[in-house]
Structure 1
Amino acid sequence: MSGRRGLGARWRRRRPLRTRLAIATSAAVAVVAVGICVAAFFITRDQMIRQLEVNLVQTGNQYAQQYRTQGPSAGDKGCQYLAVPCIQSVPADPSRDPREPYALDVDDTVRAVAAGRQAPYYEERTVAGWPVRVYTTRLRGKDMALQVALRSDIVDKGVRKAAVALAGVGGVGVLLAAGLGYWVSRTGLAPVARLTATAERIAATRDARHRIELPAGPPGREDEITRLAASFNTMLGELEQSVAAQRRLVADASHELRTPLTALRTNAELLARSGRLTDTQRDRASGALSRQLREVTTLVNDLIELARDEEPQPLVEQVRPAALLEHAVEAARGHWPEIDFTVRTDEAAAGATVPGVPARLSRLLSNLLDNAAKFSPPGGPVETGLTASAGVLELTVRDHGPGISADDLPHVFDRFYRAEAARALPGSGLGLAMARQIARAHHAELTAAQAPGGGAVFRLRFPAG
């Protein structure tokens, strides 16, 4: 059995889907067609035999009265002619048999019918070399049986003709099934063939801009194959955007890394000739090298963080944003002692929790606070707040710096984007991009806007739990 299953599996692997579908469809329709023809054959044969038996019963009823008024009759062999019956009456007592031999053979079953011990019945016999069907019944009121016979070869000929006709119809049905299976496979799998060709073309060219042509039709009434093709096109669009974003990230990262790496190489080469440098020059070069190493390390770590698409599920837990905000503000005060950080938390938001990864949410808040402190004037305030209303938890970070221009506002969360006013400030341009990515991974929304009275305000909204 396992060998047969293995052979069937190999056959399926070696045959294209279109061929297998055509064969399966053809076989199914052919089986139905042949089954209908076989059923029609048996029904036709039974009906013809039934009609012959009805003729025998009607003939017997016609002659029953005549044979009740006379004694036993040996009958004749008229049934050797078409439509001519052979009729004889047989007594239950063999001593009353006529002197002439019976045209139809008489046995104990016929005597039992004559005596009323056996029900009427039909049987096949041969008379003068011709097949006949015999009907044996009891004559009411007399201990005699009436036998009526008619030739049955006409039924056999009709059955053979029906068999030939139905066999021809079945053959035509099988041919039509083969054609129908081929048409169904070509028509039904045409979108699949286009999808396969597109996938192969993308694999060969590595170009995700290709799309599958969708058939025109009313929206909302697409079949499964069309929906599959539409989903594949959507997937290709997402893949194209992902590839484009990856290429932009690589290009931007290479551009951003070029300057610090060049400075690192310069300072490293300078320190390699430290014998020619004064102590002051050597200390300055060593400090610059350390500072540039930290910048490169921070940049690489930020890039690694941005490469993550979602948070690891095993690390997700219920987190209190109020506690995280307090901790992040305390850390920011240590990094930016010249900035005045304030925290305002509503009573309803103090005990609220959201699902998330604490370390990642802390990184999001620290990025927002560092960005606000970087643009605030020395001694200026950075205001943070946490409120809860209508099932939405909102965290805000506001500075009183120059704010965000209308041209820069759509791009503040782009990777490596730095506004004109921020070109001279430290940073890689990845902090806000990383903050938005962490927010999206936690199903939260992070937005930026101009604050009333100057400065910028960032809002982080968590959905209702």
Structure 2
Amino acid sequence: MTRLYLRIYLTVVISLLVYAAAFAWIWHTKGGPYEAAMHSQAQVLLNALPPAQAPATEQQQTLDKLAQGLPVRLALLDGSRRVIAESGATPGINESHAASAALWMLHLPDGRWLQASVPRGETQPLHVLLLLLLALAFIIGVLALPVVRRITGRLERLQQAVDSLGAGDLHARVAVEGRDEVARLALSFNQAADRIDALVGHQKTLLANASHELRTPLTRIRLALELIGPSVDASRRDGLQQDIGELDALIDEILLASRLEALPHLEVSEPVDLLALAAEECARHEGVDLEGRPATVKGDPRLLLRLLRNLLDNANRHGLPPVQVRLQVIEGRAELVVRDHGPGLRNDECQRVFEPFYRASAARDRAGTGLGLALARQIARHHGGELGCRYEPDGAFAFVVSIPVVT
């Protein structure tokens, strides 16, 4: 993934290079003040120089006068770039320019060339200019990097705070630095996080209070049923008792789910023998077969026991016997499989079945709170694991819990 600060930094550098290249191309093709000045200089020099047909001695003398006081050597060349005269040279000896490095050449209107050069070994202004340009580009790059990095660093910290808030840490905030758009974005995020925190806290308080208040009338109803005893039809009393039990279980699961949402981490984390825990829970249900090998995970044994209980209750309520529990260790993770031979779920229901209060099409006319599987997945994720469902190779439908083992 390309980092934002690198993209901004490269954009700045590439923009400078493109601008320099475009400027040089326009200058080369369209000309400019420099080119106009060079044309004027060429005409002035042509007026000062003797004609091309003049004797070499005359051209040599004129070139020596033009070169007086200049830090460079001048050479006059014909159209074929052969030396006609060179400042400081003896007439008739035309090899001295070979020992010099050309600095610039000016094309005269009559076809001749005027060349300026410096003796080999001396500093060449063109090379110095190139070094200066490279040094300038390096300085710009060095100065631009921390500025760009500071801007994107604040965005990265904001992104981390957003991730923390999305993961359930409602206390995640980000420092407000500066007064620019990024600072205003950080301020808006903090304000939104405060509102979300307050809203969620209010809802949890309301839910907990409502659940607590519901227990009181349920207790009174249960007590009243016990007191009136034989005066109520047995089947109706049993139905009322079942309804009260379901409401009580629903309140219990709502409170537990609310408490887990409020906890970013487990309150209790200790080594747990998952096979022993499964054996303890399977003993409470009739006709459940358990097989597997010991696997130790780290977590809250009460919550893990609740996870197993919800899965077994779901299999007994909505599936068909035999119910089987298999525990194995695969690639450092304990895989607990609870399978039955019921009709299972459609493919489009395999994820929705873990939503709170969602009832599968085959279970809508059966008892249940609609929170058991949602709570089981919540417990699995609090232990660093996951809960899903699948069809086994033999056609049995299974819920699969995967939790990291203790190494």
Could you tell me the TM-score, scaled by structure 2's length? 0.47
Could you tell me the TM-score, scaled by structure 1's length? 0.41
Q: Highest relative contact order (Cα 8 Å, sep 6+), 1 or 2? A: 1
